[in-house]
Amino acid sequence: MIRLIILLICSFTVVYGQQASLEGVVRDAKQQVVPGVSVRLIELKRGKPSDVDGKFNFQGLKPGMYTLQASFVGYKTLQEKVNLVADKALHLDLELVEASNDLKEIVVVGYVSQNEKPITIGKLPIKPMDLPQSVVTLDKSLLEAQQVNRMSDVLMNTNGVYIFGATGGYQEEIAARGFSMASSNTFKNGMRYANGMISELSGVEKVEILKGSAAILYGNVAAGGVLNLVTKKPKFNFGGEISLRTGSWGMYKPSVDVYGGLSKNIAVRLNASAEQANSFRVGVSSERVYVNPSILFKLGKKTELIVEGDYLADQRTPDFGAGIINYQIVDIPRERFLGVAWSNIKSSQSSITTTLTHQINENWTLKWMNGWRQNASNLFSNTRPNAGTLISANGQWIRNLQKSEVEESYGITQLDLIGSLNLAGMKHQVLVGLDSDFYNTDTYAYNQFARYDTINVYASSLKTSRSDQPTMTPFTKTMAPIRRLGVYAQDLIHINGQWKILAGLRYSYQQTLSDVYAYATGKTTSTSNFDGAFSPRLGIVYKPSLDHALFASYSNSFTLNTGVDINNQALPPSLIDQYEVGAKNELWDGLISVNLTAYRILNNNLAQNALLNATTYSYVKEMAGSVQSEGVELDVMSKPIAGFTLSGGYSFNETKYVKSNTYIEGSLLKYNPRHTANLGVQYRYQGFQLGLTAVYIGERFAGRSTRVLVANDAYRLIALPAYVQADLTAGYTFKKMSLRARVANLGDVLSYNVHDDNSVNPIAPRNYSLTLTYGW
């Protein structure tokens, strides 16, 4: 498939004569940049939105006279004639005048296509059509229409990015292109957040997903991609909304969003919500509180500072789902909860970020971001089925108890210089930056409490004579500080209107320490590891016209390894090569975006058990294994057509062991479906909205991969069948009131998210929610 796409790209050429270009910046009367302005050339019947810095750009135009139009809700439409000269770039500074000081915010839905939406996760403000990488942006209008409440709702709009596990029911584990997105790959406003607890989305305005390698920008990240949650920002006009959502199993969620200006230079915003709910799993409940305040300071015409806080507290019943007997999922009622009644996990996460942006001049901007985060969790529950005692064939299960505590603090400082210049007759968009961050993690493990009680998972009643909460003794305390430093540079070179090159390089240095204190002996065992790695990036974009872009790219990332080699030396990082080719297209005058991407990801120095000298220690390893992820992705999105908006896509991925002395060569890695697809249809007419969202998750495997070195190995994979989930949404807005309804899992399908062979969590059955909103 990849060879076919490369052949198509190589054969797709168009001949051009002399061309002109048009660029500029849109500002308001206060000389503040205005993003999202519709800038159109009337004669071409085409337009582009201004980016996050208020900039717009048209390349590859025929010389001549055009009518330029700039329009945005709340401002008077600006229209003027422009004369474009061959082989020259015309620069314009546009100023929009407010139409009325009393105009309230109006959301224009579906106007901007997927290839026109600016993203912030890429640091350098590159238009998606100029980026040699696949990008997905899910904006406010879509998130509101679909009434998303969890990350699993968001990812129904993506292919190749999916939920693969829900360990204990208190987190949503995400994967992309066959690789897990751990906390190093998930960001909120550009700063990493810990995704070990369920994300709160009530304060989120946009979700950005950058597929493939992002190592040059963020250092030690997994190969599949990164995800960024963009929260709602302060506004100077006064407004807001209050809402109440209710739903199945006693779900109750009030929320508030208020914003306004305190002066001409200071604006604030506050998002807050509280949620209480039971579950379709009898005996399982949850409570959470979320607060997201932010304040914006205009420190001058060219300088602004935004300070954002974020606090989430979550308390719920840990639920490790159905059990497994002989690597088969236990056939018990969907609602049956197998845990002890008093099980509890308390989690919290708080953070503050400051972002200072200074526009040095028209072409150069300096951004300085500082962030601090603290999170903690306290788990006390039964152990997972099969992680402690196995469930016997007749359903008998001896429940053991577990207890753990985690405290983590994280901080980062990041400085970016972003700008553009003309050099050797070519335009350069440049990013130069450095970042430094740290983790301090303290993990408290307790001695397992064995044989707490016994139940039979098939019995009609799981009650036992024991309901006390015993005292557990501490086992170890692990302190694991991590220090990281990175420097990077990247340049998007506009060779001409058709050809662009994106090149960059990052160097990352990481210090990883570990001190394990054993309470029984009073002794501390210490280890240390120091790693450094270069992460290069090279991409080429060819644009035969404004509506088509072909690209090819290479990038490199790395993952750190634990353990030692046969000489007792720390293992170096595994270096991962990524190759990507694709085409981005705006068809029928930009009415439909169609993007096609193919990729190959290779880890040719995978750490695996060392065989030299026949060592039997699992921590002694060699860099001799190989894993390959290969796939194709198709994304389609339309602008409104007679009130209808369509989005959808398909992904094929195969992630397998290419070389291994531990697992069968050619066998697939766990959790990754070969096929995923999504389809969304939205219809809007005046204040009425109706939508259908569906996702297809193909067959995948959990359990444990068979080990080739173990005779009569008991490990087995568990095949999880494919399924389709569909959600139906409807809403009506009249003046200041909105009523929205949602029916999730319309077909009441049953499937599972499985982590290894010990947390088998069924997805929720058919359920509903109803949201009433008052805005002003």
Nearest alpha carbon to residue 314 among 433, 408, 195: 195
Residues whose CB is less than 8 angstroms from the CB of residue 323 and which lie 6 or more positions away in sequence, other chains included: 329, 330, 338, 385, 386, 391, 397, 457, 760
pLDDT at 2: 46
* Positive/negative CA dihedral, 457, 459, 462, 464: negative
pLDDT at 30: 63
Give tens-digit pLDDT for 543-563: 999 889 999 999 998 888 777
The overall average pLDDT reported for the chain is 89
Alpha carbon dihedral 730, 735, 737, 742, in 10-degree steps, equals 10
pLDDT at 618: 67
H or E element: which one contains 584? Answer: strand 574-587
Say if CB 718 and CB 701 are below 8 A apart: yes
Model confidence band, residue 14 (pLDDT cutoffs 50, 70, 90): very low
Distance CA 35, CA 56 (A): 9
Give tens-digit pLDDT for 120-174: 888 888 888 999 999 999 988 889 889 999 999 999 999 999 999 999 999 999 9
Report in angstroms the alpha-carbon separations of 236 from 71, 206, 263, 463, 531. Answer: 20, 20, 8, 58, 46
pLDDT at 402: 95
Report in angstroms the alpha-carbon separations of 584 from 128, 390, 410, 631, 635. Answer: 9, 51, 38, 17, 9
664 C-beta neighbours (distance < 10 Å), count: 13
H or E element: which one contains 145? Answer: helix 140-145
Distance CA 742, CA 139 (A): 19
Among 34-38, 238-242, 525-529, 639-643, which stretch is predicted with the lowest mean pLDDT? 34-38
Mean pLDDT, rounded, for 188-211: 92
pLDDT at 253: 98
Among 13-17, 88-92, 459-463, which stretch is predicted with the lowest mean pLDDT? 13-17
For residue 89, the cross-strand partners are 21
Model confidence band, residue 475 (pLDDT cutoffs 50, 70, 90): very high
Nearest alpha carbon to residue 486 among 450, 511, 461: 511
pLDDT at 101: 41
Give tens-digit pLDDT for 321-360: 999 999 999 999 999 999 999 999 999 999 999 999 999 9
Beta strand extents in 686-722 (DSSP E only)? 688-697, 700-703, 717-720
pLDDT at 311: 98
Give tens-digit pLDDT for 255-265: 999 999 999 99
Model confidence band, residue 117 (pLDDT cutoffs 50, 70, 90): confident
DSSP letters for 404-450:
EEEEEEEEEEEEEEEEEEEETTEEEEEEEEEEEEEEEEEEEEE--EE
In the block, residue with structure tokens 């008077």: 76
Residues whose CB is less than 8 angstroms from the CB of residue 423 and which lie 6 or more positions away in sequence, other chains included: none
Distance CA 271, CA 286 (A): 20
Domains in the chain (CATH in brackets) are 231-775 (2.40.170.20)
Length of the chain: 776
Give tens-digit pLDDT for 384-426: 988 878 999 999 999 999 999 999 999 999 999 999 999 988 9
Exposed (0-12), middle (13-18) or buried (19+): which is 463, by Cβ within 10 Å? exposed
In the block, residue with structure tokens 């949201």: 771
Nearest alpha carbon to residue 70 among 104, 31, 27: 27
| Res. 9: pLDDT tops 60 | no
| Res. 758: pLDDT tops 80 | yes
Residue 641 is given by DSSP the state B
In the block, residue with structure tokens 């404004």: 546
Say if CB 379 and CB 402 are below 8 A apart: yes
Give tens-digit pLDDT for 46-75: 787 887 677 888 877 888 888 888 887 667
Residue 716 is given by DSSP the state -
420 C-beta neighbours (distance < 10 Å), count: 18
Nearest alpha carbon to residue 230 among 106, 366, 373, 355: 355
Distance CA 430, CA 423 (A): 12
pLDDT at 108: 38
Q: What is the pTM for the complete model shown? A: 0.85
Residue 271 is given by DSSP the state E
* Region of residue 703 (phi > 0: left; psi between -120 and 50: alpha; otherwise: beta): left
Distance CA 45, CA 61 (A): 13
Nearest alpha carbon to residue 274 among 309, 311, 240, 300: 311
Phi, psi of 218, deg, nearest 5: -130, 5
Residues whose CB is less than 8 angstroms from the CB of residue 105 and which lie 6 or more positions away in sequence, other chains included: 73, 74, 235, 237, 239
pLDDT at 678: 96
Model confidence band, residue 737 (pLDDT cutoffs 50, 70, 90): very high
pLDDT at 125: 83
pLDDT at 107: 38
Mean pLDDT, rounded, for 590-614: 83
Say if CB 577 and CB 632 are below 8 A apart: no
Q: Rg of the chain's alpha carbons, rounded to an integer?
A: 27
Give tens-digit pLDDT for 271-329: 999 999 999 999 999 999 999 999 999 999 899 999 999 999 999 999 999 999 999 99
pLDDT at 111: 54
Among 15-19, 308-312, 584-588, which stretch is predicted with the lowest mean pLDDT? 15-19
Model confidence band, residue 105 (pLDDT cutoffs 50, 70, 90): very low
pLDDT at 540: 97
| Res. 13: pLDDT tops 60 | no
Alpha carbon dihedral 424, 427, 431, 432, in 10-degree steps, equals 20
Q: Give the residue with greater pLDDT, 122 vs 570.
A: 122
484-502 burial string, b = 16+ CB within 10 Å, else e? bbbebbbbbbbebbbebbb
Distance CA 726, CA 767 (A): 11
